[in-house]
Amino acid sequence: GQQVMQIPQYQHVQEGEDFTTYCNSSTTLSNIQWYKQRPGGHPVFLIQLVKSGEVKKQKRLTFQFGEAKKNSSLHITATQTTDVGTYFCAGFPVLYNFNKFYFGSGTKLNVKP
Amino acid sequence: DTAVSQTPKYLVTQMGNDKSIKCEQNLGHDTMYWYKQDSKKFLKIMFSYNNKELIINETVPNRFSPKSPDKAHLNLHINSLELGDSAVYFCASSQRDRPSYEQYFGPGTRLTVT
């Protein structure tokens, strides 16, 4: 069945270090979204990528969508303690007609001050 | 104003009981969802309704029954609660015809079954 895998599961960094999480799908995606969930909170939408090879930036966050539209990455430059949380990708397979997203397993980021 | 609200926020109950969780969105969205997030943080979709019509029904035990009285509300009723039902349940909504379909999540309901 459809799976969206995300690695790593956990990442501990020192404040100021960079961080990257990767998302891989077993099938082609029409788009991919990224969400952030703070500890004790709920997932919050960050961005959506639609085009093959697309790159988008939000301040220190850089999002990429692979050429084959099967993988994506989120890179954070110079992490801050406010970046702490779990980052999820959510892929929308091209074969489906509904608003059904497959969420990745998430990467939990801890930033030491 | 809260965009997606859920009640209750916490629910502690015993095995075998029946409970309901309510969800309301004031965003005017036409699609609503229920997700289950377990202790390992996996987010799994359970149900999705579009304009009160069930469009996604994942492999969920029959003890779980969603109900959508109107576009703005999606409730979840759980019969005969089991220990494995303990999790955080998130409601979410989105607008199907918008380009980005981003989902807005409610604050979650932490269900603990003892």
Nearby residues of A82 by Cβ (< 8 Å), 6 or more positions away: none
Distance CA B99, CA B18 (A): 39
Over residues B3-40, the pLDDT tens digits come to 999 999 999 999 999 999 999 999 999 999 999 999 88
pLDDT higher than 80, residue A2:
no
Closest CA to A75 of A20, A28, A11: A20
**A84: chain B residues, CB-CB within 8 Å:** none
CB contact under 8 A, B48 and A99: yes
- pLDDT level of residue A39 (50, 70, 90 thresholds): very high
A11 touches chain B (CB under 8 A): no
pLDDT at B99: 57
pLDDT higher than 70, residue A98:
no
Mean pLDDT of chain A: 92
| Least trusted range by pLDDT, from A18-22, B21-25, B51-55, B81-85 | B51-55
User: For B38, what's the count of Cα atoms within 13 Å in the CB-facing half-sphere?
Assistant: 9
Q: Chain A closest CA to B104's CA: distance in Å?
A: 7
- Identify from A6, A21, A99, A102 which residue to disrupt to test chain B contact, counting B C-beta atoms within 10 A and taking the largest count: A99
Of B31, B41, B105, Cβ closest to residue A99: B31
**B48: chain A residues, CB-CB within 8 Å:** 98-100
Of B35, B44, B56, Cβ closest to residue A98: B56
